[in-house]
Structure 1
Amino acid sequence: MAAVKRPLYVAGAGAVTPAGLNARQTIAAIRASLSAFEEKILTDPFGAVQIVSRIPTHYQLRRTEGEWLVNMAARAMGEALRTGEIEPEATAILLTPPESFRNHPAYSDIAPPDFLAAVIAATGQKFHAASRAVDGGAAASIGLLERAVELVEQQDVEQVLLGGVDSLVNDMDFARLGRAGRLKGADNAQGLVPGEAAAFVRLTREPEGKAYVHAAIHGVGLAQEQDSVLSERYSQGRALLGALRDAVAGTGPSEPDIDFVISNGNGERYSGWEQLITRPRFYRTRREILPTAYPAMTIGDIGAAGGALALMLAADSFLRDYAPGPTVVCELASENGLRAAAVMARMARR
């Protein structure tokens, strides 16, 4: 996978995260380096304390895990849809729910094949029949950008809502991550903080409105890491390196053009090691510094929602003129080993 056939434009976004109940609040919290972390008392082992990043909400919205994820996704999709005037019938949804291998408790309420239909029903809208849910986590969401290009080239699809929804704040994920020694705590500084979120970006084939500046996606790379965090070995960065190289292989921005990075790195030792090995092999142009944003420092590891959140943050930095430069690469890693990269640029209307 390399450069997309034509640029895709990020025309809007929607989100609900521990740092904010919409995209603007979430981005403001990340920019301000705020922390949405809190301590949660576990029932197993009873009385244990775990650092988490969870959305403050009334307990009735969390009656079941499935209902909670559906409500989050519907809210974020509705916000993204309202940033434009295109009808839902001309809008295709590309959704990444929690990865199937995790046996997420939400799937006890809603079977994976029925998850997208449940989300659409919760919005009260009717979307294009090309809408799909795809397994694979945050990196899979970025990999769907090529599919998004194909969809918006169809006459009856005017835009795509691309995003994900996930929550690691549940007993099932606590147990498996705890057994693997991957949770952040008093005895493990290099662990992840379980988070939860829904995030969607609204993608169009052409820039919207009369604004002078637009955010465009030019290249995408996708690769599978054999030594995932679930394996017995540390990653040597081969898949992430391949994804980065593929993302800049087209006619768009290349490696020397990249000014900053947005990563879903979650603070785990595994994640830090992979990035430490990969980046000197990819970024060969001399730089005094490579600014890197880690949203997980504010909202924890949000799983499948991380892909769209990275695109949302990159687009906002261009449109509101606080980006360190005109070109960014979003680096995404999924727990099952999938790696993705997307190159975005600030485009000025001629």
Structure 2
Amino acid sequence: MKRPLYVVGSGAVTAAGLDARQTLAAIRASLSAFEEMTLAEPFGAVQIVSRIPTHHQLRRTQGKWLVNMAARAAKEAFRTGARASEATAILLTPPESFRKHPAYEDIAPPEFLAAVIKATGQRFHAGSRAVDGGAAASIGLLERAREIMERQGVEQVLLGGVDSLVNDTDLARLEQAGRLKGEDNAQGLVPGEAAAFVRLTLNPEGGSPVHATIHGVGVSEEKDSVLSDRYSQGRALLAALHDAVRGSGPSESDIDFVVSNSNGERYSGLEQLIARPRFYRTRRERLPTAYPAMTIGDIGAAGGALALMLAADSFLNDYAPGPTVACELSSENGLRAAAVMARMTKR
């Protein structure tokens, strides 16, 4: 990146907390938001999920449910600052289109962002966009966030995602592929749901002596995705990590820990096993890694912003294992992304 971005605020709604503070506290404490849910198909079957507790009326349709989640998290992130909404752009990643998410039966993908903005009750900058591609696509949008702030008069960007794998369509396809965690599959994913946003600026805010900054971004496409019949050799993740440390920012040897959206599947475990030793070549006694999915399950497209939010919070509240982190993000369709963040101290 030509210049760093500052993470100056966040907002979230997850099964572990109805705001960013609760969610981050639950992840830090290694709590579990998992529960058993009885399925309608096959009738009576039980599946482990990470589901946001809420009144059934808020779940009348999947479309309205996702829009309400996204609007709630975006408003929380927006309220952490004092800039006008007209000078704020939203960059959003909704559920990937290939999944045929039931939310799109209510709201067509081109209309999804407009529905979220309407639900916030604010008027945001015309540079706002929704981009297909899952959690890794959020990281890819960091370069766009920098560009629209430099060239289009945007003062801040709300970068985020919203998703729910707790629906009949996703549960059926994941079950058919043998990817769900259960009694017969210890190395499966736990379907989750969430909305998460981070507020980005080009300059630090407030009088705090500590700031969380994003210095490098890398994005690559994995041909052997989890949807294929082959295991990943980690080529795309490796390429994304190399791109993220290319430039004047932190290098591989500076990285102290990792935040990953790995979901516990055998596929992602093997990908990391192959890719990481080929990138993290500097000798380390250990490489601490945070896996938010251990608390809130696989939250799909919301995972990118949540990883940035967790990394930033660890710097600002002084519980990070070190001053530099690599965020590793994977999307179902094969997109891989990495972002290198650092703790900056104001002198």
Residue 203 of structure 2 aligns to a residue whose secondary structure is coil
Q: Map residues 297-312 of structure 1 onto 2, 5 A cutoff.
A: 297-312=294-309
Shift of 1:37: 0.2
Shift of 1:152: 1.1
Aligned counterpart, 2:129: 132
Structure 2 Cα separation of the partners of residues 201 and 151 of structure 1: 16
Aligned counterpart, 1:189: 186
Alignment TM-score, normalising by the size of structure 1: 0.99
Aligned counterpart, 1:162: 159
Alignment TM-score, normalising by the size of structure 2: 1.00
Structure 2 Cα separation of the partners of residues 93 and 328 of structure 1: 25
Residue 153 of structure 1 aligns to a residue whose secondary structure is helix
AA matched with 2:288: P
AA matched with 2:224: D
Match of 1:329 among 317, 326, 329: 326
Structure 2 Cα separation of the partners of residues 79 and 194 of structure 1: 24
Structure 1 Cα separation of the partners of residues 12 and 326 of structure 2: 21
Residue 166 of structure 1 aligns to a residue whose secondary structure is strand
Structure 2 Cα separation of the partners of residues 258 and 156 of structure 1: 33
Match of 2:237 among 236, 240, 249: 240
Structure 2 Cα separation of the partners of residues 265 and 184 of structure 1: 14
Aligned counterpart, 1:101: 98
Q: Deviations over 1:137-181 (max 9, x none)?
A: 000000000000101113621000000000000000000000000
Aligned residues: 347
Structure 2 Cα separation of the partners of residues 62 and 101 of structure 1: 22
1:343 corresponds to 2:330: no
AA matched with 1:334: S
Residue ranges of structure 2 left out of the alignment (5+ in a row)? none
Residue 26 of structure 1 aligns to a residue whose secondary structure is helix
Match of 1:274 among 264, 271, 276: 271
Aligned counterpart, 1:111: 108
Q: Deviations over 1:5-25 (max 9, x none)?
A: 110000000000000000000
Structure 1 Cα separation of the partners of residues 69 and 151 of structure 2: 29
Q: Map residues 164-243 of structure 1 onto 2, 5 A cutoff.
A: 164-243=161-240
Structure 2 Cα separation of the partners of residues 286 and 49 of structure 1: 44
The sequence identity of aligned pairs, in percent, is 82
Structure 2 Cα separation of the partners of residues 267 and 193 of structure 1: 8
Residue 44 of structure 2 aligns to a residue whose secondary structure is strand
Residue 107 of structure 1 aligns to a residue whose secondary structure is helix
Residue ranges of structure 1 left out of the alignment (5+ in a row)? none
Residue 123 of structure 2 aligns to a residue whose secondary structure is coil
Residue 46 of structure 1 aligns to a residue whose secondary structure is coil
1:262 corresponds to 2:259: yes
Match of 1:72 among 69, 73, 87: 69
Structure 2 Cα separation of the partners of residues 149 and 319 of structure 1: 22
Aligned counterpart, 1:86: 83
